[in-house]
Amino acid sequence: MDSSQSFLSKKSIAAFLAPALILIAVFLIFPAFWVLYLGLTDQALTGVKAVMPSFTGLGNFSRAFHDRFFYNALKVSFIFVFGSAWLGQALLGLVLAVLLYEMKSRWRAVVNGAAVLAWIIPEVVVAYLWIAFLDKDFGMLNQMIALIGIDKVNWLYNHPILSIIVFNTWRGTAFSLLLFTSALETIPPSYIESAKVMGAGLWRRFFEVVLPQIRAILLTDLILITLWTFNVFTPFLLTGGGPSFKSEILPIYIWRTSFKYFKLGYGSAVSTTLLLINFAFALLYLLAQRKAKHA
Amino acid sequence: MHKIKKGALYVFLAAVSVWFVLPILWLLLTPFSKEPSLGLSLTAPTLKNFFELSHAATALAAFKNSAIISVSSVLIVVVLSSLASYALSRSNFPGKQLLITLLLIFSSVVTGVAAMVPVYALCQKLGLIDSYLAVVLVFSAGFLPTAIFILKDFIDRVPRAYEEAALVDGSRGIDLYFHIVFPLMGPGLAVVAVLCFVNIWSNFLVPFVLIRSNAKIPISVAIYQFFNEVGLPRIGLISAYSLLYALPVLLVYLWVSKKYGFGFFGGLKG
pLDDT at A1 (0 to 100):
40
Range 266-285 of A in CB contact (< 8 A) with B: 267-268, 271, 274-275, 278-279, 281-283, 285
Closest residue in chain A to residue B80, using alpha carbons only: A20
Say if residues A248 and A242 touch (Cβ distance below 8 Å): yes
Task: Write the single-letter amino acid at B269.
Answer: K
Domain ranges of chain B: 1-46, 57-267
pLDDT in tens, B122-165: 999 999 999 999 999 999 999 999 999 999 988 888 888 878 88
- Comparing CB atoms, the residue among B83, B246, B253 nearest residue A16 is B83
From residue A64, how far is each of A60, A74, A267, B114 by CA, in Å? 6, 11, 10, 16
pLDDT over 80 (residue A150) = yes
The partner residues of A55 in beta bridges, in order of sequence, read A41
Q: Which residues of A touch B26 (CB under 8 A)?
A: 129, 132-133, 140
Q: Is A145 on the interface with B (CB under 8 A)?
A: no
Range 154-173 of A in CB contact (< 8 A) with B: 170
How far does A251 lie from chain B, in Å, by closest CA? 6
Q: Which residues of B touch A10 (CB under 8 A)?
A: 93
Q: Which residues of A touch B115 (CB under 8 A)?
A: 28, 31-32, 35, 271, 275
The widest CA-to-CA distance across chain A, in whole angstroms, is: 77
pLDDT over 50 (residue B173) = yes
Query: What percent of chain B clears pLDDT 90, i.e. is strictly above it?
Result: 49
Its pTM stands at 0.91
Put simply, the answer to whether A275 touches B114 (Cβ < 8 Å) is yes
Q: Which residues of A touch B160 (CB under 8 A)?
A: 3, 7
Give the residue with greater pLDDT, A5 vs A96. Answer: A96
Q: Which residues of B touch A5 (CB under 8 A)?
A: 91-92
Q: State which fold the A67-294 domain adopts.
A: MetI-like fold (1.10.3720)
Q: For chain B, what is the mean pLDDT?
A: 87
Put simply, the answer to whether B263 touches A181 (Cβ < 8 Å) is yes
pLDDT at A97 (0 to 100):
92
Q: Which residues of B touch A196 (CB under 8 A)?
A: none
How far does A19 lie from chain B, in Å, by closest CA? 6
pLDDT in tens, B18-30: 899 999 999 998 8
Contacts 24+ apart (CB under 8 A), B229-236: B232/B38, B235/A132, B235/B30, B235/B36, B235/B37, B235/B38, B236/B30, B236/B31, B236/B33, B236/B36, B236/B48, B236/B49, B236/B52
Closest residue in chain A to residue B79, using alpha carbons only: A20
Region A220-248: mean pLDDT is 93
pLDDT at A34 (0 to 100):
92
Regarding the domain with residue range B57-267, which homologous superfamily does it belong to in the CATH classification?
A: MetI-like (1.10.3720.10)
Give the residue with greater pLDDT, B93 vs B85. Answer: B85
Q: What confidence tier does A103 reach under pLDDT thresholds 50, 70, 90?
A: confident
DSSP string over chain B = -HHHHHHHHHHHHHHHHHHHHHHHHHHHHGGG-SS--SS----S---HHHHHHTT-HHHHHHHHHHHHHHHHHHHHHHHHHHHHHHHHHT---TTHHHHHHHHHHHHHHS-TTTTHHHHHHHHHHTT-TTSHHHHHHHHHHHHHHHHHHHHHHHHHTS-SHHHHHHHHTT--HHHHIIIIIHHHTHHHHHHHHHHHHHHHHH--HHHHHH--SGGG--HHHHHHHHHHHT-GGGHHHHHHHHHHHHHHHHHHHHHHHHHT-GGGGGGT--
Q: Which residues of A touch B11 (CB under 8 A)?
A: none
DSSP string over B223-261 = HHHHHHHT-GGGHHHHHHHHHHHHHHHHHHHHHHHHHT-
Q: Which of B3, B9, B109 to mutate to test the interface with A (most CBs of A within 10 A)?
A: B109
pLDDT at B116 (0 to 100):
94
How far does A114 lie from chain B, in Å, by closest CA? 6
pLDDT at B100 (0 to 100):
92
Q: Which residues of A touch B199 (CB under 8 A)?
A: none
From residue A86, how far is each of A80, A184, A212, A250, A280 by CA, in Å? 9, 19, 19, 18, 17
pLDDT over 50 (residue B74) = yes
Put simply, the answer to whether A283 touches B87 (Cβ < 8 Å) is no
Q: Which residues of B touch A118 (CB under 8 A)?
A: 20, 23-24
Q: How many CB pairs under 8 A join A and B?
A: 295
Closest residue in chain B to residue A50, using alpha carbons only: B121
How far does B112 lie from chain A, in Å, by closest CA? 8
Put simply, the answer to whether A13 touches B245 (Cβ < 8 Å) is no
Q: Is A97 on the interface with B (CB under 8 A)?
A: no
Query: What percent of chain A clears pLDDT 90, i.e. is strictly above it?
Result: 51
pLDDT in tens, B185-241: 888 899 899 989 999 999 999 999 999 999 999 999 999 988 887 666 688 888 999
- Comparing CB atoms, the residue among A21, A34, A139 nearest residue B39 is A139
Asked which of A6-20, A110-124, B170-184 is least confident by mean pLDDT, the reply is: B170-184
Q: What confidence tier does B181 reach under pLDDT thresholds 50, 70, 90?
A: confident
Q: For chain A, what is the mean pLDDT?
A: 89
Q: Which residues of B touch A254 (CB under 8 A)?
A: 113-114, 116-117
Say if residues A177 and A118 touch (Cβ distance below 8 Å): no
- Comparing CB atoms, the residue among B242, B249, B265 nearest residue A128 is B242
